[in-house]
Structure 1
């Protein structure tokens, strides 16, 4: 900018004033200040040189006061009594005004900004290289490209989330989780897009699921949905929750403890404590859901408690589990008929 102004004889003389030069620096950093600075005719001349147009030609009734004028400018002409005077506008001056001329692009005077722009472009090129390698399943090359991209420009966590995707495809789930956690940690102070944070949490959930850590998968799917709700992650969460419930139930099965709980329920039933007996038989069923005796005995308790709908459900479940089951010659079907009666 200053190179262009110093090369023009009209504006070069203005640069001898340190105060005016400081004003130019302030306007360059904050263009909003230009509106107030236009009260200075020297600023108008500088803007015209930078834009490549003659701003003085635009002076008119809608222009700011003193727009394009100098201290020595003559007073405006007024109509005379000469009949030859016409209200028609005078022909344009020899310096023809060019309309819609784009502002000349200023050279970047900030070396730091130019360097950052260069590094960002380099990182994006590495990202493209990594994407091409990933699609070709050349995972080592993809890893090297994404790692280098993050090293060059550690302000975009996309390079880390892409890197985690490579580790996931390789089956290195621990490294995938570690990289996603780093992306989340680095992304917070960078104010990264919440969708990228959600993607990182979702990928941790996927990797944890692959490792068989269902609790961690559920935890990270829930965190992902907190950041950004998507149908894909929601469906995965529901599937893993069902899977974990089934796994927990399977892990809880213990026929010996089931037998112990059922015997405890029998004692409580004989003592007339039907509520306590229901709890013991329920524990027996959880410990061994394939044993019809727990359902049958709990149905008897429900009958004593006048909870007939629950009693019917248990007798039907006992028949479903073992259609041939009977106690002392009494089949659950007969018990069900008695309940209906």
Structure 2
């Protein structure tokens, strides 16, 4: 444990040499050690046979499949969050996400070491080095959380973190996005959690755009409209899910969307590796992995359906039950048009 912290401290300065050493250490030593430690926390120890003379081999713990990491590692309500905190699968899912993102950074470091010349070398070192360093430091928080919640051994790893953003941090994160981290017009500190709000917006726009729906309008008063909430849209899509080809499971997409509520409405910080993992998991939804005969790909190809299915989903949103709800809000009794998205 001490050697882990000492190594991070030794490599804290963001230099090219330290970044290269950090990548090698993470890949070869840190990640295997984290899996071994987590196994010791969340797995039931094997019982020793009465006649055995040696201790049994320690249990092995390996990464989950990506879809299982999403399904076990995200919570969508307070009750769900409280339940998952005590489940071993939650911590295995989180370490799966960390492992995936850390190895992504390690591959980037390998490319940096072999590429000459490197574009914006100092900025690359600062960005990649500090991100990986922070993740590996907070990996100990993950172990501490597992020890406290699963093994009931609080304080074993003596690690903690602040779990909520301040409004100023969110504001400065937006400033970074607008002006660029290295423009000299904002700070260079990392703001990894702000991306959750942007990712959520991308998901919402992707689903709305696929079905061309945004709001209901009254044809007699085109300036007056009622937004179509995402829950209604999801339910309409879900009813015809078998007729729609989603490159990412619809329920996983919806789970990710709902998970983002904790950050959007309460500034809750999940572990810093989660947003990056989810970005990669959702990638096929935004850039279809199926290429054409000449290698071309389609940014709209991640959701495919027949035209009649597309029309049926839209028609559901114009159902009498929805119209009566709108009428109760002092709207016309029948709203017949949908605003078509781009």
TM range (shorter): under 0.3
Which has the bigger relative contact order, CA under 8 A and spacing at least 6? 2
Which one has the largest radius of gyration? 1
Higher helix share: 1
TM-score, normalised relative to structure 2: 0.21
Higher strand share: 2
TM-score, normalised relative to structure 1: 0.21
